[in-house]
């Protein structure tokens, strides 16, 4: 299935709170048996990770970070899971790909169940569902109301990455992020020098498909600003 309705009650597993999340099963390599605690926590999230191409390319670039893909479609999540298992076993000697994992979830509803305030450094939104119909716009992953939840999970200076081949959606995402008081757009100069932007342009399966079709790719990156004084 190409789509999944983010508003319906899926059979989802999610922790009651971030403290109750069992990260051990997702990142066993980063679990310390002696203290029964994780040695690292997730700091990079790929929301709607699809087939996992971005995770796999980010993994060696950020060996010190735990990277999580969230995907709402069951079969796609299973595929990415299998892919990561295979990569881990093929790279067992170097402990490669231990820092990436995937879970099935609805980020639009349950992101705060997984991440504490200011936990994340980077959030990726790569080729999200465009939801062309106007009355479906609330189903878009970037809306001014959801951005406040992303801002909660991101630390100051954290980055939101967006990429799409749909111009209308690109303009929509830019408009909403620019309007949001807690985000500021980063320059094209910054984009040029950022390795994640390069990876994001080429790593994802959607990105490759667009390349084959010689379509356009629109990138926009935003930095999480400090909270203003509370009134």
Partner 1 sequence: MIHPIQTAVVNRDGSVVFCVIKNMIQVFRWDQTKSEFVAAGQWVDDEDSSNAIKKKVSEEQQRQRAENEAKRRKIEDDAAESETAKRSRRHKDAKVPVPGAGAPPVYNHVRNLALSRDEKLLYACTDSDKALVVFALDFDKENCLILQKRQPLPKRPNALTTTQDDKQVLVADKFGDVYSVDARGSDVVDVSKGNLEPILGHVSLLTAVAIVCDADGKQLLVTADRDEHIRLTHYPQTYIVDKWLFGSKQFVSTLCVPEWGTNLLFSAGGDNFVSSWNWQSGELVDALDIDELVNPFLGDAQLAPSKFQDESNSLVEYAVSKLVTFSNLPYVAFFVEQTRALFICKVDPLVGKLMLVQTIEMSLNIVSLSSALSADSIMVTLDHRDSENAHLAAFITWDGTQFSVDGEKNISFHNCITEKLHEDPVASTEAQDIYPLYSVATLRKRAEN
Ramachandran quadrant class, 181 (left: phi over 0; alpha: psi -120 to 50; beta: rest):
alpha
Please identify, using beta-carbon distances, which residue of 67 and 177 lies nearer to partner 1: 177
CB-count burial class (<10 Å; 0-12, 13-18, 19+) for 161: buried
Phi/psi of residue 111, nearest 5 degrees: -50, -45
79 binds partner 1 (CB under 8 A): no
User: To the nearest whole angstrom, how small is the minimum distance from the Cβ of residue 91 to partner 1?
Assistant: 33
Which DSSP symbol is given to 185? E
Interface mask toward partner 1 for 154-173; x: CB under 8 A:
--------------------
175 binds partner 1 (CB under 8 A): no
**Applying CB under 8 A, which of residues 11, 35, 187, 193 lies at the interface with partner 1?**
11
Which residues have a catalytic role annotated?
A: 129
Please identify, using beta-carbon distances, which residue of 122 and 180 lies nearer to partner 1: 180
Token pair recorded at residue 145: 């109301």
34 binds partner 1 (CB under 8 A): no
Residue length, the chain? 231
Residues 137-156 that bind partner 1 (CB under 8 A): 138, 143-149, 151-152
Q: What's CA 87's distance to the chain center, in Å?
A: 20
**Applying CB under 8 A, which of residues 66, 72, 108, 197 lies at the interface with partner 1?**
108
Please identify, using beta-carbon distances, which residue of 80 and 199 lies nearer to partner 1: 80
Ramachandran quadrant class, 48 (left: phi over 0; alpha: psi -120 to 50; beta: rest):
left
- Nearest Cα neighbor of 72 from 165, 5, 19, 127 is 5
User: To the nearest whole angstrom, how small is the minimum distance from the Cβ of residue 56 to partner 1?
Assistant: 27
List, in order, residues 6 or more apart from 149 with CB less than 8 Å away.
111, 112
Contact residues toward partner 1 (CB under 8 A) are: 6-12, 16-19, 74, 106, 108-110, 112-113, 117, 134, 138, 143-149, 151-152, 180-182, 227-228, 230-231
């Amino acid at each position: 299935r190409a789509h999944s309705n983010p508003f319906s009650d899926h059979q989802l597993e999610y922790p009651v709170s971030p403290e109750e999340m069992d990260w051990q099963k997702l990142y066993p390599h980063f679990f310390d048996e002696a203290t029964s605690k994780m040695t690292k926590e997730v700091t990079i999230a790929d929301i709607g990770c699809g087939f996992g191409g971005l995770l796999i390319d980010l993994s060696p670039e950020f060996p010190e970070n735990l990277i999580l893909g969230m995907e709402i479609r069951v079969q796609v999540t299973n595929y990415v899971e299998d892919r990561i298992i295979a990569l881990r076993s093929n790279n067992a000697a170097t402990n490669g790909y231990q820092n990436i994992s995937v879970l099935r979830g609805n980020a639009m509803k349950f992101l705060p169940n997984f991440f504490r305030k200011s936990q994340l450094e980077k959030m990726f939104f790569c080729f999200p569902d465009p939801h062309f119909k106007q009355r479906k716009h609330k189903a878009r992953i970037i809306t001014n109301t959801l951005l406040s939840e992303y801002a909660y999970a991101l630390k100051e200076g954290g980055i939101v990455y967006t990429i799409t081949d749909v111009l209308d959606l690109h303009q929509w995402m830019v408009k909403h992020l620019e309007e949001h008081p807690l985000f500021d757009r980063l320059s094209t100069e910054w984009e040029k020098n950022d390795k994640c932007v390069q990876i994001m342009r080429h790593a994802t399966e959607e990105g490759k498909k667009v390349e084959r079709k010689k379509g356009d790719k629109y990138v926009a990156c935003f930095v999480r600003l400090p909270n203003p004084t509370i009134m």
